Structure 1
Amino acid sequence: MIIKAFFISSLICLWGNLVLGHSTDPISLSFPNLIDLEDIFGLEKSWSFFNNIKVETGRMLIGKLGGSIWSTDVLPNPDDEWTIEFVFRSTGATTDLRFTDSNGLSLFLVEAPNTKDVSNFGGPLSFDGFQFLLNNKGKEGLKIYANDNSKKIENDLEETIGNCEFSFLNSGVPFNVRVSYSRKNNVFKVQIDNNLCFRTEKINIPSGKFHIGFAGYVSPASEEVFEVLKLNVWDHLTEDAIDDHGLMSDGELKVAVQTVVKQETNDEVSPAQIRESLMERSRKLKEDIEGQTQQQQISSSSFDFEKINELIVQNSLIQTQLQSVQLTLKDIQNTKEEPVTYPFDEFKSSISSQYVELLESISSLNQKVIGEVREQQFTIDELGKKVDLLMANHKELRYESSNAQKINTHDTSTSIIRWLLITITIVVLVLVIFVYRLRHDVKHSKLL
């Protein structure tokens, strides 16, 4: 039944996109699958990158002293409709809170990238467009800045056009950030993990060019690393951009997952010592995926039987009402008496009203079913993302294991050569002593 529900939901989404003339696939401005890239140079056809930025095991990493990457192509129809969605993660710990003035990651939408100025968390202080800053200065979470290149952004909360508070430091889990705009619907919106973070109807983007860029900076004394796992861009509003699964209230997500982090008893321990190993992260991620799968199977099975039973009951009621109406009409047609108009009209209107009520109840029930299916689809999408992350960690483990084997092989070969040279040296010394004694004996015998 789960497969059938997903099939129905997929048909609904596909039909809606076909009617609107939209493709569900992201456009070329999106990142390819980063797992397929060996290094950052796999992006050089469509992107320009600067300073300390690299791609490793399916992640784009921005580490100490920062770096930036900018699209060479521009966002199509920036004044009409578009959706930008990216997934990021921070590896920082609680001790990295002392670097709130320096550490940060930004998504830029600007008319012309300024790669020479990196004083704004790896990006420019002055720009024409938008900056979506993720840092912990003043308030942890996301800050949104708009500029027309007439001033320098000082990263104060008073300068933001909007912000939402959430904790990404020391969480260890990826966050999904989605920015969307529609002139037709008159809406500019930002979502965090499908929860509404910021929405306004007062932004009207004029025609022009928008380059997409990521910029970040990390203090040399900090162990924090920013990871960008995915970037997708659409030239229209996606279904998730239209629907909000939850709201952010008072700086907190109404639909959120609480992450329990192991705390060290010694506050003086360096951040590098309290980070979990790859094996530990993989084990915890596997347990999390298995638990979500079991919960999903239980909720899906109960959902199927309850909703289908309700639909069957409603359908049987409709069939019964229709049959009674048909029988009444046949009786009236068969009678030769004069028709009684008033009672029949009243009966007809009563049946019609009941029929309309039944249709409305079925329609509302269908909307609930579609909502449940969408939630199930979102859960499986999140599950797929975690599986991709698990595969990336597995590749990293395999790479480290192969390096360790090479080092062990090299050490073994060196040890064998060392012992072989020692043995040869001993044999040569023995031969030299033997020859010396032999010559001495021969000389002595000649003297006799």
Structure 2
Amino acid sequence: GSDELKWNKGYSLPNLLEVTDQQKELSQWTLGDKVKLEEGRFVLTPGKNTKGSLWLKPEYSIKDAMTIEWTFRSFGFRGSTKGGLAFWLKQGNEGDSTELFGGSSKKFNGLMILLRLDDKLGESVTAYLNDGTKDLDIESSPYFASCLFQYQDSMVPSTLRLTYNPLDNHLLKLQMDNRVCFQTRKVKFMGSSPFRIGTSAINDASKESFEILKMKLYDGVIEDSL
């Protein structure tokens, strides 16, 4: 259907179960820290006290609208932890360290969507914006949106779908397993400067294994987004 036409394969992960030549088939991606490809999935945190990341090398410019789908899971641990899994839309080169959940410095410019065990909310998804001028402190900086979402120690993967549509008065919508987590029109991504797209995770002293199974990017809004 029309979704297939919008699917941007050059900016998506290949079918990880079919990857035989990692250097060739994953040449568009930067694998950071301890991440490794295992049995059709990327394990970002393969052991205790590890971190890992996946970044798309080419930057992405939004033409009309954009939908990103990440399929992920957290496996092997349930309980209190300072670890978490972050999904990023960053602009510029600010924040190239990995201090913030294995993916960025605290001075990033852009959007971070974070799955973690929040002290107040419990297992949840929180979304943060930063403009590259100040440090984001997870404990004290306010998130602009959140929803409860149980993700820990799940055999079944989950899907995060982020849609941004400038043509629909800058609608930014996040769906978790097809349920709307939040939507807002207050976020207008600055100018036409391109994005760096990625994901990262840390797991502190737990055996929490954060895993990425798929990532698909679409140049437009897909049926499931509506």
Whether the TM-score (by the shorter chain) exceeds 0.5 is yes
What is aligned with 2:7?
A: 25
| CA separation of 1:175 and 1:57: change in aligned 2, threshold 3 A | same
SS at match of 1:98: coil
Tell me if the contact between 2:95 and 2:109 (Cα under 8 Å) persists in the aligned partners: no
Partner in structure 2 of residue 148 of structure 1: 131
8 Å contact kept, 2:42–2:213 = yes
Q: For the residues of structure 1 that align with 2:178 and 2:213, how far apart are their CA atoms?
A: 17
1:438 is matched with none
Larger radius of gyration between Structure 1 and Structure 2: 1
- CA displacement, residues 249-268 of structure 1 (integer Å, 9 cap, x when unaligned): xxxxxxxxxxxxxxxxxxxx
What is the distance in 2 between the residues matched to 1:90 and 1:51?
A: 18
Letter in 2 for 1:156: E
Give matches, 1:158-237, under 5 Å. Answer: 159-186=142-169, 187-205=171-189, 206-219=191-204, 221-237=205-221
State the alpha-carbon separation in 2 of the partners of residues 113 and 49 from structure 1: 17
- Cα offsets for 1:110-129 (capped at 9, x unmatched): 11356752111102211111
Match of 2:88 in 1: 108
User: Which residue of the other structure, out of 38, 42, 47, is the alignment partner of 1:60?
Assistant: 42
After superposition, the Cα gap between the structure-2 partners of 1:71 and 1:112, relative to the gap in structure 1 and judged at 3 Å, is farther
Partner of residue 136 from structure 1, selected from 103, 107, 117: 117
Quick one: distance in 2 between partners of 1:48 and 1:114?
17
Residue 36, structure 1, aligned to residue 36, structure 2: no
Matches within 5 A, 1:7-406: 14=1, 17=2, 23-38=5-20, 41-63=23-45, 64=47, 65-77=50-62, 80-94=64-78, 97-99=79-81, 101=82, 103-113=83-93, 116-124=96-104, 125-138=106-119, 139=121, 140-156=123-139, 159-186=142-169, 187-205=171-189, 206-219=191-204, 221-242=205-226
Pairwise CA RMSD of aligned residues? 2.1
Change (3 A) 1:113 1:88: farther
| Cα drift, residue 40 of structure 1 | 5.1
SS at match of 1:222: coil
What letter matches 2:108 in structure 1?
F
Structure 1: stretches of 5+ with no match in the other structure: 1-13, 243-448
Higher helix share: 1
How far, CA to CA, are the matches of 1:148 and 1:115 in structure 2? 11
Secondary structure, counterpart of 1:202 in structure 2 = coil
SS in 2 for 1:122: coil
TM-score of the superposed pair, with normalisation by structure 2: 0.88
Give me the TM-score of the superposition, normalised by structure 1: 0.46
- Determine the C-alpha separation between the residues in 1 that align with 2:91 and 2:61: 12
**Structure 2 unmatched runs, 5+:** none
Alpha-carbon offset, residue 170 of structure 1 = 2.6
Q: Report if the CA contact (8 A) 2:102-2:200 is conserved.
A: yes
The alpha-carbon deviation at position 24 of structure 1 amounts to 4.2
8 A Cα contact 1:38 1:55, kept in partner? no
